[in-house]
Structure 1
């Protein structure tokens, strides 16, 4: 087993770096220290990422002060939670995207509080939330800019559902809480309707907002302890200005140095942290912050340390969440210790990874606070929604290249040439992944009802190891969530990805009041908008449409295991 070479522990967190990784990052770390990065970053210096990034960075560094600034929030949130309980509202539903959904979900799962997170437009998943007891439901709408089409659609859908249930006027207002930037269109609408309004910090981007009202309000209203999270983060704050014994700086140096030498995939496995959902939040933060200008770090969240895809590989850096030096949980399928392990409480981990990601972006020379390629998919979605005579019939009527039972294969001819069944299609995709590349599975389906789709990640990783001389990293994301997680990296990062998109028939649809489209049409527009963006940059992409979701997923699994 490799020798543990460095353990950096401070502020309640510990980062363990093993073997040759220290040698790779030592020069980078020394340069960061000599350039004064720890003190400059902790003091909010906007020039750390170059002159082009400085204007935006100057408006996006408020997250460094959130552990202190947010200390007034817990009392306010406790007051709102008490008022909601007094009104009989003990079922909390969150409508949001990106960090405004992923951070609350990670907190709720770690703290064991019930919170329904809707960062989806799937009509089956949203419909299930609508079928709950609306008279007990508090909807938290979280959108910092106040202009996201998906969040707006969900707000409209719930408003109509409350109205249909006879909930109106002042009673309706009690069923909503809104978190958004002051002065946003959503803030104005919420004020006019009399909804509870919590201001989001205008100097913090969504993926860096875990310790703000955007990250804390939904699960606090569901019963989580916001004050405890802030206290955990506050313990790390003094450490961030230190040039040495600074675990966040060390982690950022490793991430950046690894990408510079070609290890630009970060395989993330749970190893005893108990922080379920943290890996998904890390994926969003790291991929969307670093993946641009042809560079970046792609997190590959796996099911555990023994999962396919967590084996040592030339282009993969492995990190275990929660394991400490010598723990069996730090070892993967090969029995070899992972190069990195990170342990510590959730509040501190939020701040640790944000700081480390900002440092890695300086090493890579990219702006951590923009997401230019997310806008491309959004523009395509808007164009499709403006198309005449509705979207769904146009999309579904396209002639498939191949039909295998319940599964339609839609792909350019060169990607499926010679394939006669699903096994051939999927193996062809795996073979198309170049050295140093990856395969991304993107499922525009129901996270609960179609949970079996997530199993495809491990099945494809195992199949890839069997049919290729070198295994290919395989990521999995639910659509449209992935548009705000790995979506930026897919279009803006290294152009070596191959893409498998899943869509499916839906026996149910939900109208969006005041809009000329339904959730089903919006979901398809999001899927096709992203597919168009991927193909516009020359990336190989196949769409599999499931005529029957359950049967189609079973057929896909059989194609990979038979």
Structure 2
């Protein structure tokens, strides 16, 4: 296999014409960047010439200089939209800015350690928690650091289980909300502030930290309640682009990660992407162009393959890709956590991206990827030397997603359809406040073994309803499982089994997520992307609910309202939905569904 290796420091010696001439050989391209110590290989087959042409066109338009000057005409000619785009491009220089903030963050870490705290909980949604999840699961905890937990669900069982593990008096709670108005983190903060106040009285605020934007209303509340520290982030940085800002770096530092080295990776990638002047081998441009061109040619399901050590990166990429690209009926669907299969299991709507470590052979996945390349599927391989390379990788993907927006002709920095579910939920919560309960969901299409099936299709029993629902699937569609449930190993196994049954029979992409987390990530794609989804929502009873301080409703009611609001929003966009209410025992209820599913799928042609 011939590989073309382009050293970042030598890009200036190789003209773009010569670079593209070599690309035309249709061999894998390896971009080796000595500053960040990892490489990317593109095996694009028949799509390579189209990617080559798009790279040429963008560079002919002086892409790099215009991009770093925040020239919004790269994305749109609409003046109002251009203003919006420029207002959300502050992330471009955030690694440089945050490198200067390292002493401030480390002083805070030392203060927290000296104060005797024993645990840290990050409470937020979407962009404020995705990077901390990756850091907590991808790095080993530092020897002198604090254990880190992340709360990003309103499920009362999850909140109660977390609370039971915490030494409340010695726990530092980080309430992370960019806008300062996001309902979930504010609810989490109020709940645990009330718990700590019962122990420490007026000193409860010593256990709390706020990360939010300047001018948010949350600053007023945090100040009044005596929060230990308020970190003001950057208003011009959207949540999904905030991994290398206070939202990601404060939890990372408390967890013992070398944030200076992490940020330096982002700074290095900035240079490789043209921050200091035009470059001929911009890795963010190449990745974004490849993904955008492939999506336009029908390869719009980005299937992420990782070893277990990097599996959490899928959560971060899901939000970045889906929320940035899923709009105006276009977009790239990120598919994470789906076991890699053989070529005949996939249609022509897939592009495969492998993200792993150089030191991990991961032979099982590599053999399957080689088979996929041989069968004509495009495969992109990215390898890291160590977890700290994630700083550079975060930045590469942020640039790439911005470039995808250019190729697809969309604004990658807004999220117009996320608000739909929020608005529907707010309307339902108003009903709860006035009437004391949520409106009834209506009559189910079928009920069996304690599970209620709500959908527009009909059937005499569970098997018939499932058959009618999945009979709607077409080539190029996808299925997503939306679990408004208390996550457990057993449920994860059952959801994975559900996905495998559907993928094996229908040969469509499958995704899965816990609500309300995904409302702030893939939820944008679900409503704003192409109408190719079959949405299966799971809810359950809450026999052990938790009250919310200062509110007339509970966590369980809040979660159910979010589920119903999401469903209402999907109906507003004419999506195909199946709502399964699993009753008081979701694991048992889902097992009942799984018992009926094989027969239902088996009756399909």
TM over 0.5: yes
For residue 294 of structure 1, what is the aligned residue in structure 2? Answer: 329
For residue 26 of structure 1, what is the aligned residue in structure 2? Answer: 52
Q: Provide the C-alpha distance between the structure 2 equivalents of 1:351 and 1:374, rounded to a whole number of angstroms.
A: 24
Q: Is the 8 A contact 1:511 1:519 kept in 2?
A: yes
For residue 16 of structure 1, what is the aligned residue in structure 2? Answer: 41
Q: Provide the C-alpha distance between the structure 1 equivalents of 2:435 and 2:252, rounded to a whole number of angstroms.
A: 36
SS of residue paired to 2:417: helix
For residue 134 of structure 1, what is the aligned residue in structure 2? Answer: 168
Cα displacement (A) at 1:553: 2.5
Q: Provide the C-alpha distance between the structure 1 equivalents of 2:435 and 2:104, rounded to a whole number of angstroms.
A: 44
Cα displacement (A) at 1:186: 0.6
Q: Where do residues 153-164 of structure 1 align in structure 2 (5 Å cutoff)?
A: 153-164=187-198
Q: Is the 8 A contact 2:174 2:209 kept in 1?
A: yes
Q: Provide the C-alpha distance between the structure 2 equivalents of 1:490 and 1:197, rounded to a whole number of angstroms.
A: 34
For residue 77 of structure 2, what is the aligned residue in structure 1? Answer: 51
Instruction: Provide TM-score, normalisation by structure 1.
Output: 0.92
Cα displacement (A) at 1:180: 0.4
For residue 514 of structure 1, what is the aligned residue in structure 2? Answer: 550
For residue 233 of structure 1, what is the aligned residue in structure 2? Answer: 266
- CA 1:89/1:428 → structure 2, altered by over 3 Å: closer, same or farther? farther
For residue 100 of structure 2, what is the aligned residue in structure 1? Answer: 72
For residue 270 of structure 1, what is the aligned residue in structure 2? Answer: 306
Cα displacement (A) at 1:391: 7.5
Cα displacement (A) at 1:331: 4.0
Q: Is the 8 A contact 1:283 1:299 kept in 2?
A: yes
Q: Provide the C-alpha distance between the structure 1 equivalents of 2:452 and 2:434, rounded to a whole number of angstroms.
A: 21
For residue 89 of structure 1, what is the aligned residue in structure 2? Answer: 117
Deviation per residue, 1:430-450 (Å, 9 max, x gap): 332222211111001112x3x
For residue 247 of structure 1, what is the aligned residue in structure 2? Answer: 283
Q: Where do residues 345-360 of structure 1 align in structure 2 (5 Å cutoff)?
A: 345-360=389-404
Q: Where do residues 368-447 of structure 1 align in structure 2 (5 Å cutoff)?
A: 368-388=412-432, 393-395=437-439, 398-412=442-456, 415=457, 417-418=458-459, 420-421=461-462, 423-447=463-487
SS of residue paired to 1:507: coil
Deviation per residue, 1:299-336 (Å, 9 max, x gap): 01024435x99954201111111267997433438833
Q: Is the 8 A contact 1:309 1:474 kept in 2?
A: no
SS of residue paired to 1:441: strand
For residue 110 of structure 1, what is the aligned residue in structure 2? Answer: 138
Q: Which of 483, 486, 497 pairs up with 1:459?
A: 497
For residue 11 of structure 2, what is the aligned residue in structure 1? Answer: none
- CA 1:354/1:333 → structure 2, altered by over 3 Å: closer, same or farther? closer
Cα displacement (A) at 1:465: 4.4
Cα displacement (A) at 1:452: 3.3
Q: Provide the C-alpha distance between the structure 2 equivalents of 1:280 and 1:310, rounded to a whole number of angstroms.
A: 27
Cα displacement (A) at 1:477: 0.9
Cα displacement (A) at 1:36: 1.6
- CA 1:349/1:377 → structure 2, altered by over 3 Å: closer, same or farther? same
Q: Is the 8 A contact 1:305 1:320 kept in 2?
A: no
Cα displacement (A) at 1:71: 1.1
Q: Which of 368, 371, 379 pairs up with 1:335?
A: 371
- CA 1:455/1:431 → structure 2, altered by over 3 Å: closer, same or farther? farther
SS of residue paired to 2:101: helix
Cα displacement (A) at 1:481: 0.5
Q: Which of 184, 205, 210 pairs up with 2:238?
A: 205
SS of residue paired to 1:268: strand
Q: Provide the C-alpha distance between the structure 1 equivalents of 2:436 and 2:464, rounded to a whole number of angstroms.
A: 28
Cα displacement (A) at 1:419: 5.1
- CA 1:488/1:96 → structure 2, altered by over 3 Å: closer, same or farther? same
Q: Which range is displaced more, 192-201 or 236-245?
A: 236-245
- CA 1:485/1:332 → structure 2, altered by over 3 Å: closer, same or farther? farther
Q: Which range is displaced more, 364-373 or 21-30?
A: 21-30
SS of residue paired to 1:161: helix
Deviation per residue, 1:212-233 (Å, 9 max, x gap): 0012112322322221210111
Deviation per residue, 1:508-536 (Å, 9 max, x gap): 21211122221111111111111001011
Matched, 1:482 2:518: yes
Q: Provide the C-alpha distance between the structure 2 equivalents of 1:311 and 1:322, rounded to a whole number of angstroms.
A: 23
In structure 2, the gaps of 5 or more residues are 3-25, 142-146, 600-605
Q: Provide the C-alpha distance between the structure 1 equivalents of 2:149 and 2:569, rounded to a whole number of angstroms.
A: 30
In structure 1, the gaps of 5 or more residues are none
SS of residue paired to 1:336: helix
Cα displacement (A) at 1:457: 5.0
Q: Provide the C-alpha distance between the structure 1 equivalents of 2:346 and 2:580, rounded to a whole number of angstroms.
A: 30
**Who wins on radius of gyration, i.e. which is larger?**
2
Q: Which of 207, 212, 223 pairs up with 1:191?
A: 223
Matched, 1:542 2:578: yes
Q: Provide the C-alpha distance between the structure 2 equivalents of 1:401 and 1:74, rounded to a whole number of angstroms.
A: 57
